[in-house]
Amino acid sequence: MTGIGNQTNNVPGKLDQHLAGLSVGDSSDARPGGSGPKRYIPPHLRGKPPTEPAGKTTTLERTSSWSGNMAAARDRSRSSERVAGNETGRVAMGREDTSDVRRTAGGGGFGGGRGDAMTRTTTWAGRREDSGGRGGAPVRPGASGMWAGGKHVHGQRNQRLEAELFGVVDDPERMQTGINFEKYDDIPVDASGRDPPAPITNFEEADLEPLLLENIKMSGYRVPTPVQKSSISYGRAGRDMMACAQTGSGKTGGFLFPILNESFRKGPSEAQGGDGRGHYRSRAVRPIALILSPTRELTMQISEEARKFCYRSWVRPCVVYGGADIVGQMRLMERGCDLLVATPGRLVDLIERGRVSLSNIRYLVLDEADRMLDMGFEPQIRRIVEKEDMPGVDERHTLMFSATFPRDIQMLARDFLKDYIFLSVGRVGATSENITQRIEYVEDEDKLSVLLDILTSGDTSRLTLVFVETKRMADRLSEDLLYNNIPASAIHGDRTQRERERALESFRTGRTPVLVATAVAARGLDIPNVTLVVNYDLPTDTDDYVHRVGRTGRAGNTGTAVSFFNRGNRSISRNLIELLKESNQDIPDWLTIVAREGSGFGSGRGRGRGGFSSGPSRGSGFRDQRSSGGGFGGRNDRDFRPSHGAPSAAPAGRSGGARGGSGYSHNGPPPMPPALENDPKNSWF
Ligand SMILES: Nc1ncnc2c1ncn2[C@@H]1O[C@H](COP(=O)(O)OP(=O)(O)OP(=O)(O)O)[C@@H](O)[C@H]1O
């Protein structure tokens, strides 16, 4: 394998070796006939005669036979999260103590106590001097910055706040860049559209606002990632952009830096306070920047990042998301809201209550735009952008980030962006080479045992994210893990927001180093030291796969992703092989056979979901180069960019099912490898 990273951070080589040892192919218990997938034998049963017929003992049966212990497991689960909750409470109290600190903070932060802490906040930032403080209060200098006399007056430094925002040297709770960080520069970048400005080369010579540069340095960023290099340059030129870049490669900075650079330079708008629409809207806040993101956790995380880069500036970030007390959020907004990070549903609610006006918006960001559409947010997004009081596309600067560029995203781009630059860093929708990916054949009933093997091997303190498909399974599996003395918690959509935050916090701090999650944690979450991702259940969609495994191998760090595959996952096999190939991963022989056998099963999901089957732009050197050698064709079918930056208005059909270019007809049987084609036992499915 020529991947740039093939070891985990914490246990170089160990996990890989162990996983190799666990490989189904290495099991001594071959299926009769010897040619098919071999049954996994957990360590404690290896070398012993089988006690039950294969396939009879299911995880479920085992679980119920442990029912006597399940209540205890549940108790342990609750108490484990209670501890985490207490810790969160402590953090919140700590924050309350630093009331001066919070004046600058302006919003954000995990933990249920945040609201209380924030309600004590008093700020004078974010106002023009001539407009005075809220209610005519005198403007006072402090840790917050302000805009006065046409100048950006920076707030005073505050060590406690700096420790909270930026951590300490080598802080284990902060993401440190990894050994492969500089290799981001080797990833081919492609920009299409009218005259894309040249990317910046480094932060120092980019003519950034001094305070932004200082905050970037304090965040430990030394060199911009490719997406940041381009976006800063486009921001300065006032260009809209649509960007696709690999997981963990700094897209958040990619939209925050240009927005903040321009905001720090230009200052707030004249209009603050009431918007002249009468009493009903007089309490509306009027942010200059709006960032929409699909999930609550991602929204909070973006706001935390924004807090860092807004430190000591006049710009006050604020966050609103569903599932949390809306009254508390409104109170916080009133204390200053220049940059609003929001989930679409909660924002619509606040607009309807007359608490947010979008009339001042200069910068609009849609992060994870494809996910927002998947989640059914398009009506809310269109309402927010097109039907409320937001300035039109020519009056604002709009940035969209999306893993894919299917038809519905193209339509949004056509309506929301003007003369935009399409930026892709690496292959659209590809996984990072920093992630070593392994696919293991594991029957459903063996999954728990294999997982336990993996979790108890190597460094047990490493953070592991385990993805499952259903909320019930997330609960059940976390209980099973607790029963087996593995501290675990679960995060999914049926848990209350408080429970979700507690589970995340307890995971982040390592108190429960295993987090069982549904898709809710698949996108955007940036948690340091997650060195292992397990797809206990593989998703049906390869974009979801890319995002899930992308929770590790971030910021140039390396990580490992193990996916359990069995006959229930065959619909993803071909696209999975494409992904593995393009990130230089080992592909198990059996997976190739499965993909060949299943050539007719194209489900219309996976890579094809919502995508154009026609019109991929080709011709850039790197795309041609990287697309060579694909055995299953269609490697460019995820590259739906328009050829010259303007989206194609002509509707194109979605690619349903298997696509052309696979090299064989879907009507006939797929060709078998010569050595196997005459062996009937080779047919698995
Ligand atoms: N220039 C930089 N130097 C050092 N670290 C950086 C830099 N840019 C971003 N990071 C860090 O890299 C990590 C990943 O960044 P970020 O979360 O923005 O990635 P992303 O591309 O948005 O990922 P995803 O696709 O999963 O949402 C973060 O911890 C961030 O602090």
Instruction: Provide DSSP, 564-608.
Output: EE-GGGGGGHHHHHHHHHHTT----HHHHHHHHHTGGG--S-GGG
Q: In angstroms, rounded to a whole number, what is the distance separating the alpha carbons of residues 639 and 623? A: 9
Residue 176 or residue 132, greater confidence: 176
Q: How far is CA 136 from CA 115, 127, 129, 623, in A?
A: 25, 11, 11, 58
Give the nearest ligand 1 atom to 305 CA.
31
Using an 8 Å Cβ cutoff, are 474 and 500 in contact?
no
603-662 residue pLDDT tens: 333 333 333 222 223 222 222 222 222 222 233 334 444 443 333 333 332 222 222 222
In the reported structure, the alpha carbon of residue 555 is separated from the centroid of ligand 1 by a whole-number distance in angstroms of: 6
pLDDT value of position 49 = 54
Of the candidates 533, 555, 554, the one whose C-alpha atom is nearest the C-alpha of residue 544 is: 533
State the Cα angle at 540 between 536 and 545, rounded to 5°.
65
In the reported structure, the alpha carbon of residue 305 is separated from the centroid of ligand 1 by a whole-number distance in angstroms of: 10
Kindly indicate the confidence band of residue 53, based on its pLDDT and cuts at 50, 70 and 90. Answer: very low
Q: In angstroms, rounded to a whole number, what is the distance separating the alpha carbons of residues 293 and 306? A: 14
Q: In angstroms, rounded to a whole number, what is the distance separating the alpha carbons of residues 648 and 629? A: 29
Reply yes or no on whether the pLDDT at 341 is more than 90: yes
Dihedral, 545, 584, 246, 535 alpha carbons, nearest 10: 20
Give the nearest ligand 1 atom to 547 CA.
26
In the reported structure, the alpha carbon of residue 225 is separated from the centroid of ligand 1 by a whole-number distance in angstroms of: 8
Give the nearest ligand 1 atom to 222 CA.
3
Q: What are the structure tokens assigned to 162, written together?
A: 């700096």
Q: In angstroms, rounded to a whole number, what is the distance separating the alpha carbons of residues 381 and 343? A: 10
pLDDT value of position 176 = 74
Reply yes or no on whether the pLDDT at 594 is more than 60: yes
Residues flanking ligand 1, CB < 6 Å? 175, 177, 221, 223-225, 228, 245, 247-253, 524, 526, 550, 554-555
Nearest protein CA to atom 30 of ligand 1, as residue: 250
- What mean pLDDT is predicted for residues 404-429? 89
Dump the DSSP string for 390-450: ---TTTSEEEEE-S---HHHHHHHHHH-SSPEEEEESSTTPPPTTEEEEEEE--GGGHHHH
Q: In angstroms, rounded to a whole number, what is the distance separating the alpha carbons of residues 5 and 15? A: 13
Count other C-beta atoms under 10 Å from residue 571's C-beta.
18
pLDDT value of position 104 = 33
The residues, any chain, with a CB within 8 Å of residue 676's CB and separated by 6 or more, are 35, 593, 682
Q: How far is CA 542 from CA 89, 576, 607, 657, in A?
A: 38, 7, 6, 14
Q: In angstroms, rounded to a whole number, what is the distance separating the alpha carbons of residues 671 and 659? A: 17
Nearest protein CA to atom 16 of ligand 1, as residue: 250
Using an 8 Å Cβ cutoff, are 93 and 495 in contact?
no
Q: How far is CA 351 from CA 31, 66, 275, 384, 659, in A?
A: 61, 50, 13, 9, 43
- What mean pLDDT is predicted for residues 66-73? 38
Reply yes or no on whether the pLDDT at 533 is more than 90: yes
Q: In angstroms, rounded to a whole number, what is the distance separating the alpha carbons of residues 420 and 215? A: 28
Give the nearest ligand 1 atom to 555 CA.
12
Of the candidates 20, 1, 10, 2, the one whose C-alpha atom is nearest the C-alpha of residue 562 is: 20
In the reported structure, the alpha carbon of residue 651 is separated from the centroid of ligand 1 by a whole-number distance in angstroms of: 34
In the reported structure, the alpha carbon of residue 168 is separated from the centroid of ligand 1 by a whole-number distance in angstroms of: 18
Residue 294 CA from chain centroid, whole number: 10
Nearest protein CA to atom 4 of ligand 1, as residue: 221
Reply yes or no on whether the pLDDT at 321 is more than 70: yes
Q: Pocket of ligand 1, candidates 175, 185, 424: which has the most ligand atoms within 8 Å of its Cβ, to mutate?
A: 175
Kindly indicate the confidence band of residue 12, based on its pLDDT and cuts at 50, 70 and 90. Answer: very low
pLDDT value of position 556 = 84
Dihedral, 42, 43, 46, 48 alpha carbons, nearest 10: -90
Nearest protein CA to atom 27 of ligand 1, as residue: 524
The DSSP 8-state label assigned to residue 384 in this structure reads: I
Residue 75 or residue 408, greater confidence: 408
Q: In angstroms, rounded to a whole number, what is the distance separating the alpha carbons of residues 412 and 423? A: 16
Task: Looking at mean pLDDT, say which of 47-56, 66-75, 149-158 comes out highest.
Answer: 149-158
Residue 438 or residue 102, greater confidence: 438
- What mean pLDDT is predicted for residues 285-308? 95
Q: In angstroms, rounded to a whole number, what is the distance separating the alpha carbons of residues 31 and 567? A: 15
Kindly indicate the confidence band of residue 387, based on its pLDDT and cuts at 50, 70 and 90. Answer: very high
Q: Pocket of ligand 1, candidates 215, 221, 341: which has the most ligand atoms within 8 Å of its Cβ, to mutate?
A: 221
In the reported structure, the alpha carbon of residue 55 is separated from the centroid of ligand 1 by a whole-number distance in angstroms of: 43
Using an 8 Å Cβ cutoff, are 174 and 554 in contact?
no
Q: What are the structure tokens assigned to 377, written together?
A: 């947010």
Using an 8 Å Cβ cutoff, are 296 and 497 in contact?
yes
Give the nearest ligand 1 atom to 245 CA.
21
Dump the DSSP string for 293-349: -SSHHHHHHHHHHHHHHHTTSS--EEEE-TTS-HHHHHHHHHT--SEEEE-HHHHHH
Give the nearest ligand 1 atom to 368 CA.
27
Reply yes or no on whether the pLDDT at 129 is more than 80: no
In the reported structure, the alpha carbon of residue 252 is separated from the centroid of ligand 1 by a whole-number distance in angstroms of: 6
424-435 residue pLDDT tens: 988 777 888 889
Using an 8 Å Cβ cutoff, are 491 and 518 in contact?
yes
Reply yes or no on whether the pLDDT at 520 is more than 90: no
pLDDT value of position 603 = 39
Residue 458 or residue 681, greater confidence: 458
Residue type, 496: T
Which range, of 45-59, 524-538, 544-558, averages the lowest pLDDT?
45-59
Kindly indicate the confidence band of residue 185, based on its pLDDT and cuts at 50, 70 and 90. Answer: confident
How is the chain split among helix, strand and coil, in percent rounded to 5?
A: 40, 10, 50
Task: Looking at mean pLDDT, say which of 127-131, 584-588, 661-665 comes out highest.
Answer: 584-588
Reply yes or no on whether the pLDDT at 319 is more than 70: yes
Nearest protein CA to atom 31 of ligand 1, as residue: 175
Of the candidates 682, 617, 632, the one whose C-alpha atom is nearest the C-alpha of residue 662 is: 632
232-269 residue pLDDT tens: 999 999 999 999 988 888 999 999 999 999 999 999 97
Helix axes 471-483, 447-455, angle to 10 degrees: 60
Give the nearest ligand 1 atom to 221 CA.
3
Q: How does the average pLDDT of the chain come out, rounded?
A: 72
pLDDT value of position 585 = 94
pLDDT value of position 299 = 96
The residues, any chain, with a CB within 8 Å of residue 278's CB and separated by 6 or more, are none
Give the nearest ligand 1 atom to 225 CA.
1
In the reported structure, the alpha carbon of residue 429 is separated from the centroid of ligand 1 by a whole-number distance in angstroms of: 17
Give the nearest ligand 1 atom to 249 CA.
21
Q: In angstroms, rounded to a whole number, what is the distance separating the alpha carbons of residues 603 and 621? A: 31
Q: Pocket of ligand 1, candidates 180, 200, 251, 546: which has the most ligand atoms within 8 Å of its Cβ, to mutate?
A: 251
In the reported structure, the alpha carbon of residue 524 is separated from the centroid of ligand 1 by a whole-number distance in angstroms of: 9
Kindly indicate the confidence band of residue 41, based on its pLDDT and cuts at 50, 70 and 90. Answer: low
Residue 535 or residue 2, greater confidence: 535
In the reported structure, the alpha carbon of residue 367 is separated from the centroid of ligand 1 by a whole-number distance in angstroms of: 13
Reply yes or no on whether the pLDDT at 141 is more than 60: no
- The ipTM is 0.99
For residue 376, give the 3-state DSSP assignment. Answer: coil
Nearest protein CA to atom 8 of ligand 1, as residue: 250
